Amino acid sequence: MISKILIANRGEIAVRIMRSCKEMGIETVAVFSDADRKSLHVRYADEAIHIGSSPSTESYLVKEKIINAANSTGSDAIHPGYGFLSENAEFADLVRKEGIIFIGPSSDSIRMMGDKISARRIMTKADVPVVPGTRKKIDDDIKALKVIKRIGYPVMIKASAGGGGKGMRLVYKESESLDALKSARSEAIDAFGDDSVYIEKYLSKPHHIEFQILADRHGNVIHLYERECSIQRRHQKIVEETPSPIMTPELRQEMGEKAIAAARSVNYEGAGTIEFLVDENLNYYFLEMNTRLQVEHPITERVTGVDLVKEQIRIASGEKLAYEQADIFQDGHAIECRIYAEDPENNFMPSPGLIRKITEPMGFGVRTDGYVYEGYEIPIYYDPMISKLITWGRTRDEAIIRMLRSLEEYYIMGIRTSIDFLKRIMENPEFINGQYDTHFIDTHKEKLFCPSEDIAGTEDLAMIVAFMEYLEDAKIKKNGLPPQSFSNWKMRNRKRNISRQ
């Protein structure tokens, strides 16, 4: 029985995990660095242990300090959140050796999926399609050239110990290959201490679609449908949504089954995510498996009604899954926008500083998972994400309009944020139409980054609603599609006067 959990993390995810713990009557322990002394997770926890100075390498990444804090507070379990030590197999082993429950998969699963070459080999054996390419690491660069020729240009060179886009090189022709191999290896050895690389056929216009998995210790595995994560900037996801605008029921069924097969192939336990690339012909390929809870998990929670953190804790306690596959439905549409303390008009430079005033959006279908408050000083030491804004609608259109209305309401004074940048994404016709892929940010960078354009005010929402109606009509005229149940924003007249029916 778990009665006290140490959350080995900070920021919004630490607060979010503590919320589920409180609802379960589980005591919470926070760990914090010098810079986080006044951070919300420290105030929110039942107990808090100072573990070191501000840099993560002297605090949140120091395994022994986390374990000492767990022992000194009599914590039964440690929840690693995401990032930091959440996918560190050695940490999971150390925690379990201390007789403390690590809320996550076995260290073997973490290791197998952390090594992208072994992950690809395991998925191939499990009959999960992988991106065409090599099955083992390439030691000899001359041999590599032959292999690349067989695969056919363009190819993507990737670090086996990498992931999330680190150590990737796109190669269009033979003359670039040797240099690309060398630079990929040196980046990999610097970043991961392992210069193993593998090669994949480059998919030119893929969608990045991932499936949420829950697996218990009794052989039960379910999926909780997909998340569309193609809107990324430098491999950092910015906007995620579920359902995916390109998904068909048949594809969803098939990819869900493959995601379950992928989890079973490593005897997975806990919450995990299977990432796929989906090409323009709806062929899908395994990309990576994330052996942790993801930043974007709240959109899955909203459309399925499942609290993923509570399920993680129940699974770690040895309980059977509370759900069968037949219990999981997608209800409506959810979108997540990540709010960063960065300045989009200054190449997204981090914008730490004092929060002088903050008003967060509320109302029907709105969730904010944040941790900053008036008077809080955002530190420079950590990831600059300050919150996630999640909106839900009965339809995608309604979720978009609700997101725009919420971004309009979101007011933070004292730092620069990505809020206006996110509004421009929500207003973009290609986004509104659901016709985008992983090149979206790059394709639209002029319009997205230009500060001059005026941003959607309430009045402009009317124009956007009108535009969406136009698109809706266009879709109907073109394909004779039955009108989607459109959001209940209706234009009484075109003179920008919005009213709800």
Q: What are the residues binding ligand MV4 (CB under 6 A)?
A: 131, 156, 164-165, 200-203, 206, 208, 230, 232, 235, 277, 287, 438
State the nearest-atom distance from the C-beta of 224 to ligand MV4, in Å. 21
Total residue length of the chain: 501
Does 361 sit behind a cis peptide bond, omega within 30 degrees of 0 on the bond before it?
Answer: no
Q: Between 146 and 205, whose beta carbon lies closer to ligand MV4?
A: 205
State the nearest-atom distance from the C-beta of 292 to ligand MV4, in Å. 15
Q: Between 200 and 269, whose beta carbon lies closer to ligand MV4?
A: 200
User: Half-sphere exposure of 490 toward its Cβ, with a 13 Å CA cutoff?
Assistant: 6
Catalytic residue among 120, 185, 252, 292: 292
Measured CA to CA, the distance from residue 30 to residue 43 in angstroms comes to 9
Q: Between 135 and 235, whose beta carbon lies closer to ligand MV4?
A: 235
Is residue 33 classed exposed, middle or buried when 0-12, 13-18 and 19+ CB atoms within 10 A define those classes?
A: buried
Q: Between 77 and 262, whose beta carbon lies closer to ligand MV4?
A: 262
Q: Between 207 and 416, whose beta carbon lies closer to ligand MV4?
A: 207
Measured CA to CA, the distance from residue 6 to residue 98 in angstroms comes to 14
What count of other Cβ atoms lies within 10 Å of the Cβ of residue 346? 11
Instruction: Note if 292 is an active site residue.
Output: yes
State the nearest-atom distance from the C-beta of 206 to ligand MV4, in Å. 5
Measured CA to CA, the distance from residue 56 to residue 63 in angstroms comes to 11
State the nearest-atom distance from the C-beta of 298 to ligand MV4, in Å. 20
Q: How far is CA 323 from the centre of its chain?
A: 23
- Any alpha helices (H) in 278-415, and if so which ranges? 297-304, 308-316, 396-409
State the nearest-atom distance from the C-beta of 365 to ligand MV4, in Å. 27
Strand partners, 435: none
- Any alpha helices (H) in 61-115, and if so which ranges? 63-73, 89-97, 107-114
Measured CA to CA, the distance from residue 304 to residue 290 in angstroms comes to 20
- Any alpha helices (H) in 152-296, and if so which ranges? 174-192, 249-265
Active site residues: 292
